[in-house]
């Protein structure tokens, strides 16, 4: 062996190398290793702090380690964590009632991940179609939207038009028909006697915070009612205060037949998802026809109940509206100066970067260097979704960092063009 001393790599490099060696490469993370989180800020293993502007894809709406939710989780950890649904537990009933009241629905069906909740909504919609609507066996169709993102299970990617999500995963599940997002005429033309549901996102988050045209949700509600079709809203990212209302559908005063919920429902502590609907829909589910070992477990239910209580104060909905207005005002001057377009709903923004200037990934890497964590999507778009506990100063810090990144890139491009 050489007598030369071994030089240890920085802590971040060690963690990144270990992860890349032993964990499958189904993500392409930014080169930062987070070790601690508090509110809207996180700290890496070297002690550098960053403003978290992804918030776990809206799972961290209430911030990192929210005291109220952490306390409730600790209390339940000391009592009971899992029984499976083979038995009743003392936490599921209160959670189901609280969530039913929040959604205005009569029943809920709890699961774990968002994708599981979407799968549940698909199964319930089909079973309702056969048992209630009277669709011929095996003929049920569900309408979906172009540009959708509902998860990555085999069934869900069957109706995705994202080539990366679908490549080499076929054959795919039949029974879906896709139409352009926000095109009510296309939806109307696609509905026939076999369509049992329309599955949509009231805001397409993964697509880059894509907003539907004004009136689309109201028109979709009318169309579904007229044709006896279930209106199924995937509020996993958009719901639970992110857009400034409890649900994104609330912006048009629309109530879907089925809410699909997840992410923030677990408070950033625990994976919790659910669908909520009335008894005439969820009543088609019978013992043994659907389930999950961890769905509705006592720990999840206790945390979920506290999340609902937190939402009922209205504080986070108000914060999303007020701080979202500040974010929109800060981003607006960038349009035409390196930014092609900005879309904002509540405290959630999609920013389309001029691809001739920078890719979305490059912007996120440069924001990282300035202490801001964000995520790119679809090449030249970045998403901004800080926890709803951010301050006005935090929003200003985000805007200043993005303005600097865009401005520096433009200045470099101008110099290069004059040579």
CA 364 to chain centre: 19
Which residue, 376, 374, 328, 335, is CA-closest to 354?
335
- Give the chain's largest Cα–Cα span: 81
User: How wide is the angle at C-alpha 30 spanned by C-alphas 26 and 34, nearest 5°?
Assistant: 100
Does residue 369 have a cis bond before it (omega within 30 degrees)?
no
Residue of 345, 340, 336, 325 lying closest to 399 (CA atoms): 325
How far is residue 228's CA from residue 155's CA, in Å, rounded to a whole number?
Answer: 24
**DSSP letter assigned to residue 334:** G
- Which neighbouring-strand residues pair with 342? 351
Q: Any bridge partners for residue 142, and if so which?
A: 176, 197
Pairwise CA distance, residues 167 & 155, whole Å? 14
d(CA 312, CA 97): 13
Annotated catalytic sites, by residue?
149, 234, 263
Q: Which residues pair with 109 in a beta bridge?
A: 275
Give the bridge partners for 166, in sequence order: none
Strand order in the sheet with 372-373: 34-38, 41-44, 49-52, 372-373
Gap between the Cα atoms of 52 and 217, Å rounded? 31
């Amino acid at each position: 062996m050489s007598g030369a001393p071994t030089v240890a790599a920085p802590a971040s490099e060690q963690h990144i190398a270990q992860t890349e060696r032993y964990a499958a490469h189904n993500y392409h993370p930014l080169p930062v290793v987070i070790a601690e989180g508090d509110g809207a800020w996180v700290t890496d293993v070297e002690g550098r702090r960053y403003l978290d502007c992804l918030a776990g894809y809206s799972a961290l709406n209430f911030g990192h380690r929210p005291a109220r939710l952490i306390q409730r989780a600790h209390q339940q950890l000391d009592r009971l964590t899992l029984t499976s649904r083979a038995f009743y537990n003392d936490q599921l009933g209160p959670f189901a009632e609280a969530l039913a009241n929040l959604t205005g629905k009569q029943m809920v069906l709890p699961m774990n991940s968002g994708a599981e909740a979407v799968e549940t909504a698909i199964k319930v919609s089909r079973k309702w179609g056969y048992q209630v609507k009277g669709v011929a066996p095996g003929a049920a169709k569900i309408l979906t939207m172009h540009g959708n993102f509902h998860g990555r299970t085999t069934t869900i990617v069957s109706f995705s038009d994202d080539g990366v999500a679908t490549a080499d995963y076929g054959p795919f599940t039949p029974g879906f028909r896709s139409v352009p997002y926000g095109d009510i005429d296309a939806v109307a033309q696609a509905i026939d006697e076999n369509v049992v549901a329309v599955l949509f996102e009231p805001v397409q988050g993964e697509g880059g915070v894509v907003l539907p045209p004004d009136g689309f949700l109201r028109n979709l509600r009318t169309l579904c009612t007229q044709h006896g079709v279930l209106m199924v809203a995937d509020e996993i990212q958009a719901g639970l205060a992110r857009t400034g209302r409890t649900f994104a559908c609330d912006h048009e005063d629309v109530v879907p037949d089925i809410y699909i919920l997840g992410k923030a429902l677990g408070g950033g502590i625990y994976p919790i998802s659910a669908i909520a609907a009335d008894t005439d829909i969820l009543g088609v589910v019978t013992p043994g026809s659907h389930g999950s070992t961890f769905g509705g477990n006592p720990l999840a239910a206790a945390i979920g109940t506290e999340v609902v209580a937190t939402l009922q104060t209205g504080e986070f909905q108000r914060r999303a509206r007020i701080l979202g207005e500040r974010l929109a005002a800060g981003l607006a001057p960038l349009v035409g100066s390196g930014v092609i377009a900005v879309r904002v709903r509540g405290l959630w923004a999609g920013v389309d970067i001029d691809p001739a200037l920078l890719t979305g990934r490059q912007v996120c890497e440069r924001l990282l260097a300035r202490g801001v964590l964000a995520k790119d999507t679809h090449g030249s778009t970045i998403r901004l979704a800080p926890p709803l506990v951010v301050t006005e100063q935090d929003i200003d810090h985000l805007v200043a960092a993005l303005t600097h990144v865009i401005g520096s890139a433009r200045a470099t491009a101008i110099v290069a063009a004059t040579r």
